[in-house]
């Protein structure tokens, strides 16, 4: 039985993946700050799911993460889906700080903890670390500066760990999932987002990409095309483009 730990499983993409993986018989460890939505998932699949409240910005996050791994008796795949994001053209200090604490510090601590788990656990032959980053991590986006920079950090952190794993002969695969806009509570209500995708459409694509150990997977094909183009735009032109979020 495959064992999967998902951080950020209380809503949106993480919640949907937890439900899908539990339904097909995986043992799933789920975590986020809010306990009620986690308990709901656990209630639906009591024998497959273990839940733990974890705030990735809290000092005890890594200890609780290891406790959760123990609760499901190991971890074949780690999925880091915890994240926050704001449109923040005013560069509000509180929003900036909470974005960086969650998406940078929290992300790095939990992802590094997963890496150490695979490095130090003798009975794991092959591990996998998957993270939901974003197309936003491929360019600096003015109205979401902290968010887009935090997503770039996540992508670079995965690249770095992949190199470290090679050097240290740690058998772990890395998967960087980069969605465009998905209709989840992360996005502000009542706004029109271009090429908005539903969780129903995106989650199965992401799950397949993770199970196939894709290294980098941009969802969906339209975002792949747009992203390929915008990555070619030099910064001196990029600064003139008025992206909204």
Ligand X SMILES: NC(=O)c1ccc[n+]([C@@H]2O[C@H](COP(=O)([O-])OP(=O)(O)OC[C@H]3O[C@@H](n4cnc5c(N)ncnc54)[C@H](OP(=O)(O)O)[C@@H]3O)[C@@H](O)[C@H]2O)c1
Q: Which of 42, 85, 86, 170 binds ligand X (CB under 6 A)?
A: 85
- Tokens 């902290």 — which residue? 146
Torsion over CA of 75, 110, 202 and 20, rounded to 10 degrees? 30
Residues 6+ apart with CB under 8 A from 240: none
Minimum distance of ligand X from residue 182's CB (angstroms): 4
E strand spans, the chain:
3-7, 27-32, 49-53, 77-80, 127-132, 172-179, 216-219
Per-residue exposure over 142-159, b if at least 16 CB sit within 10 Å of its own CB, e if not = bebebbbbbbbbbbebbe
User: Does position 71 bind ligand X by CB under 6 A?
Assistant: no
Minimum distance of ligand X from residue 149's CB (angstroms): 13
Q: What angle do CA 25, 52, 23 make, to 5 degrees?
A: 15
**37/142 with CB nearer ligand X:** 37
User: Does position 181 bind ligand X by CB under 6 A?
Assistant: yes
- For ligand X, what does the binding mask look like between residues 139 and 178, x meaning CB under 6 A? ----------------------------------------
User: Does position 226 bind ligand X by CB under 6 A?
Assistant: no
Residues between 96 and 135 with contacts to ligand X, criterion CB under 6 A: 102, 106, 132, 134
Minimum distance of ligand X from residue 137's CB (angstroms): 9
Q: Which of 112, 113, 164, 186 binds ligand X (CB under 6 A)?
A: 186
Residues between 6 and 35 with contacts to ligand X, criterion CB under 6 A: 7-14, 32-34
Q: Which of 89, 185, 194, 204 binds ligand X (CB under 6 A)?
A: 185
**Taking the CB of residue 48, how many other CB atoms lie within 10 A of it?**
19
In whole angstroms, what separates CA 186 from the centre of its chain? 13
Q: Which of 119, 184, 214, 224 binds ligand X (CB under 6 A)?
A: 184
Q: What is the DSSP letter of 188?
A: P
* 12-23 helix and 35-44 helix, angle to the nearest 10 degrees: 20
Chain residues in the site for ligand X (CB under 6 A): 7-14, 32-34, 54-57, 81-85, 102, 106, 132, 134, 179, 181-182, 184-187
């Amino acid at each position: 039985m495959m064992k999967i730990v998902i951080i950020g499983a209380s809503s949106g993409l993480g919640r949907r993946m937890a439900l899908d993986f539990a339904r097909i018989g995986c043992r799933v460890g789920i975590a986020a700050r809010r306990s009620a939505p986690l308990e709901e998932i656990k209630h639906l699949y009591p024998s497959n799911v273990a839940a733990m409240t974890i705030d990735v910005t809290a000092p005890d996050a890594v200890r609780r993460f290891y406790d959760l791994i123990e609760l499901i008796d190991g971890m074949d795949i780690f999925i880091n889906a915890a994240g926050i994001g704001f449109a923040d053209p005013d560069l509000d200090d509180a929003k900036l700080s909470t974005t960086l604490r969650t998406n940078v510090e929290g992300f790095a601590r939990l992802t590094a903890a997963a890496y150490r788990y695979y490095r130090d656990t003798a009975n794991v032959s092959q591990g996998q670390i998957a993270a939901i980053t974003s197309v936003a991590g491929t360019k600096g986006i003015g109205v979401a500066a902290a968010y887009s920079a935090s997503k770039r950090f996540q992508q670079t952190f995965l690249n770095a760990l992949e190199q470290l794993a090679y050097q240290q002969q740690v058998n772990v695969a890395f998967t960087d999932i980069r969605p465009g806009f998905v209709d989840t509570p992360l996005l502000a209500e009542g706004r029109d987002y271009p090429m908005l995708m539903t969780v129903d459409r995106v989650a199965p694509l992401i799950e397949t990409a993770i199970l196939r150990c894709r290294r980098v997977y941009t969802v969906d094909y339209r975002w792949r095309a747009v992203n390929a183009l915008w990555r070619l735009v030099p910064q001196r032109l990029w600064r003139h483009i008025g992206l909204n979020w």
